[in-house]
């Protein structure tokens, strides 16, 4: 699956449509550079999951928990050095919940992510507003 988004509203709509194709529990790993739209995509997922409160980037808090139709966990691993720190944080507990777990900078969790994790890459396009959003194969898989 691949989409082009021309605005934050488009990204929210794409995220909502994407979430409708998934069954919970689900872990969604978001990959992309700074400013690629990971938090915006997570906000769209949260809104589609029935979260009523504002969803902000958890860069400094690392983990934010919300209640929607199901538990919604928004995790940002940007400030972590690798899987060991993610494990010490208790990431494994969030990967085993019955809700939706969305992880920005998921590559920092490495092998802690379950095999069923859905990986989504977000990239800036040629135009300032354009974002390319694509479900990808696990980029962390060992061959």
Evaluate whether 58 touches 76 at the Cβ level (below 8 Å).
yes
Q: CA 121 to CA 7: how far, in whole Å?
A: 17
pTM of the model: 0.91
- What pLDDT, on the 0 to 100 scale, is given for residue 73? 95
pLDDT-derived band at 10 (thresholds 50, 70, 90) equals: very high
Q: pLDDT tens digits, residue range 57-104? A: 776 778 889 998 999 999 999 988 888 898 988 888 888 888 999 999
Mean pLDDT, the chain, rounded, equals 90
Backbone torsions φ then ψ of 69, nearest 5 degrees: -60, -30
Quote the DSSP letter at residue 78.
T
* CATH architecture, range 23-128: 3-Layer(aba) Sandwich (3.40)
């Amino acid at each position: 699956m691949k989409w082009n988004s021309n605005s934050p509203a488009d990204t929210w709509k794409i995220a909502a449509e994407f979430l409708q194709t998934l069954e919970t529990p689900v872990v969604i790993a978001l990959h992309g550079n700074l400013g690629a739209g990971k938090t915006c995509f997570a906000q769209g997922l949260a809104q589609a999951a029935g979260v009523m409160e504002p969803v902000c980037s958890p860069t400094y808090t690392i983990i934010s928990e919300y209640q929607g139709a199901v538990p919604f966990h928004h995790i940002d691993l940007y400030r972590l050095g690798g899987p060991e720190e993610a494990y010490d944080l208790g990431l494994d507990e969030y990967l085993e919940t019955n809700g939706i777990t969305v992880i920005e900078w998921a590559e920092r969790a490495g092998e802690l992510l379950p095999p069923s994790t859905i990986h989504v890459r977000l990239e800036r396009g040629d135009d300032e507003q354009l974002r390319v959003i694509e479900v990808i194969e696990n980029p962390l898989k060992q061959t």
